[in-house]
Structure 1
């Protein structure tokens, strides 16, 4: 059944905050199994929770199901959803109500929008002892080296003029934006590892015979930690203000997305997951130093509760977010990975529910990560 669910999602991709059919499919399966389903959590039409049991201890299994525009499920979220669904159903079957609470959490818009960020802010993860998920990839790693990220809009306001008729009266906003790109290139040479700013021009003027009075760029910022991302944001603002002063323009710097925090791995729980997965013949290793694999809103969850986000390979070369990865997501290897990961997630979640010692170790590890 899980593979059919995965293939159904794969064949019918829906993008951020529009995953209506995916959410309906998943909640339908959970309701059939007797889970108490709440739709529209955190004010998001395609978000949901499905609970079995009550009280503490409590474990959350995270389901992602949004796809990429033009590429479909080229990030494997259909497998994440099916694995979380299968683990929740397995736990409901083997554990009685006295073991606590199992919650499948539907988390839309990981790619663009940050559903988990909004769910964290709405209290969805309050009272949860651990949040568990996996991610398919091209590596098999115990944890995900995920950076903090955010996007900002930077706009410059100048004054329009004719470039030959009255050029001295113009204040070129596009020139200011181009100067900002140059300044940020110089800044990039001295940024710490994993920190960078990538920008694009989103508005550069309307005609070649008009000095642009308005220009705008969109900038993606990433950093190894949430604190470092805050520092980088301050540097972007300072650069924009300096350019504005130098060019006689006015600058606006505005955040355009929610902020993804860096991922804090629960080493205690990741090791337990790796042990369970090894019984299926899949070995996880620590990530290769210096390689960072983007950002995810799981970081915001991991800042609140112990969380895991291991990578498990479904292909050996290339990258996700490619047509090749989308094909791999419906391959026999993906099916085998789904079966193995579902079992390991269920076993890890059961360990959390039945072992007070494991929960205590996970909490202690999480407190140390918060202070780091």
Structure 2
């Protein structure tokens, strides 16, 4: 006799309840031992060891990243990926709650894998390093990790409880100016001040910022400004972070930065170099249908998600790159009140709190139930993919 979705959901909730202490222990162990971008060796070992003991087929070092992994239960399509983040913030530890993301993804694949039959398809845990800087998911996308995936699911702890994540596209560029050294009093007319050119670029970008569309901005720092006060700087360099509401808008912003740098170089007699220095994070495309499913499942645990506040953006993430390839969700679930902020010592403390434990277990259940919905309903998959293939608002 075919099982109903309600029966599957009930079995999943029992599986999560039975693993509650194990999942919380994993979250606390990650929290107590923070590791940083592409160096999360102990975290990856902890997670893959658990998955291997549970009978998952584990592949380590995927996409040529030593701390990336996949772990599969089941066979063939359809396939749902649960994403596990586990890097921390230098100096702050798990002040973005990635210990909870990893534990929830782990619990969701374990619960779904225990309940679903082989003929139902596959659940796939994807270990994704370096979300805070490095873009492990973007690297995995390009390596084909998500090519045969039907949906990608994760949640993020935060200070809001929102069905979807308003996440912008972002990238960083290096701008260097080459001038000519000279003595500032002995032969000043022989010098070409590269630092003056860089300062002028900051001024031009400040003026440009007044005319940029919502969510677009450029934030820069000086990374090299000369070697001594009695030498006209022959080289100066800045690093610039660019963000925009969409990936297309980000491309326009990069073009403006390049034009400004070249214009300043022409005006100052310097030579400009503009070079991308990070992986580009695409903006996040939410699968509304799947986000609603997640919210419905979470509501059964007494946590209600609402719509994001219009005009509010919460940074960027490499989940955006995944969402360009497959339907994806990235809801926020609050572990602190809205007057707080992540990326703070207080948020790091909250990521090991009793409220965090409650959110972890509720989100784990909701993720696993949403995964089961995708695997067991061809109609849902078709609806989700149809929406994913349609052009999104604001995209060319």
TM-score, normalised with respect to structure 1: 0.99
Match of 1:30 among 45, 51, 67: 51
Match of 1:351 among 373, 379, 394: 373
| Whole-Å separation in 2 of the counterparts to 1:97 and 1:31 | 17
Q: Does residue 1:340 correspond to 2:380, yes or no?
A: no
| Whole-Å separation in 1 of the counterparts to 2:162 and 2:391 | 19
Residue aligned with 2:211, SS: coil
1:57-78 Cα shifts (integer Å, max 9, x gaps): 1100000000000000000000
Q: Does residue 1:265 correspond to 2:314, yes or no?
A: no
Residue aligned with 1:348, SS: helix
Match of 1:367 among 389, 392, 396: 389
Specify the alignment match of 1:199 in structure 2: 220
| Whole-Å separation in 2 of the counterparts to 1:163 and 1:116 | 49
| Whole-Å separation in 2 of the counterparts to 1:165 and 1:343 | 73
Aligned pairs, how many? Answer: 372
| Whole-Å separation in 2 of the counterparts to 1:311 and 1:37 | 28
Match of 1:275 among 296, 301, 309: 296
Deviation at 1:161, TM superposition (A): 0.3
Specify the alignment match of 2:324 in structure 1: 303
Q: Does residue 1:322 correspond to 2:330, yes or no?
A: no
Q: Does residue 1:146 correspond to 2:195, yes or no?
A: no
Gaps of 5+ in 2: 1-21
1:314-360 Cα shifts (integer Å, max 9, x gaps): 00031100000000000000000001000000000000000001101
Match of 2:270 among 249, 261, 275: 249
Residue aligned with 2:390, SS: helix
| Whole-Å separation in 2 of the counterparts to 1:259 and 1:253 | 15
Specify the alignment match of 1:137 in structure 2: 158
| Whole-Å separation in 2 of the counterparts to 1:53 and 1:342 | 19
Deviation at 1:370, TM superposition (A): 5.2
Specify the alignment match of 2:105 in structure 1: 84
Deviation at 1:54, TM superposition (A): 1.3
Residue aligned with 2:279, SS: coil
Residue aligned with 2:26, SS: helix
Deviation at 1:369, TM superposition (A): 4.2
| Whole-Å separation in 2 of the counterparts to 1:370 and 1:145 | 14
Residue aligned with 1:290, SS: coil
Specify the alignment match of 2:11 in structure 1: none
- Indicate conservation of the 8 Å contact 1:171/1:248, yes or no: yes
- What CA RMSD, in Å, does the superposition of the two structures yield over aligned residues? 0.7
| Whole-Å separation in 2 of the counterparts to 1:211 and 1:54 | 65
Residue aligned with 2:285, SS: coil
| Whole-Å separation in 2 of the counterparts to 1:370 and 1:58 | 24
Which residues in structure 2 correspond to 1:164-243 (within 5 Å)? 164-243=185-264
Deviation at 1:202, TM superposition (A): 0.1
| Whole-Å separation in 1 of the counterparts to 2:59 and 2:391 | 32
1:41-96 Cα shifts (integer Å, max 9, x gaps): 00000000000011111100000000000000000000000000000000111111
- Indicate conservation of the 8 Å contact 1:264/1:369, yes or no: no
| Whole-Å separation in 1 of the counterparts to 2:361 and 2:81 | 19
| Whole-Å separation in 2 of the counterparts to 1:341 and 1:369 | 30
| Whole-Å separation in 2 of the counterparts to 1:369 and 1:47 | 31
Structure 1 consecutive aligned stretches of length 4 or more whose deviation exceeds 6 Å? none
| Whole-Å separation in 2 of the counterparts to 1:54 and 1:182 | 57
TM-score, normalised with respect to structure 2: 0.93
Specify the alignment match of 2:135 in structure 1: 114
1:176-197 Cα shifts (integer Å, max 9, x gaps): 0000000000000000000000
1:275-317 Cα shifts (integer Å, max 9, x gaps): 0000000000010001100000000000000000000000003
1:235-290 Cα shifts (integer Å, max 9, x gaps): 00000000000000000000000100000000000000000000000000010001
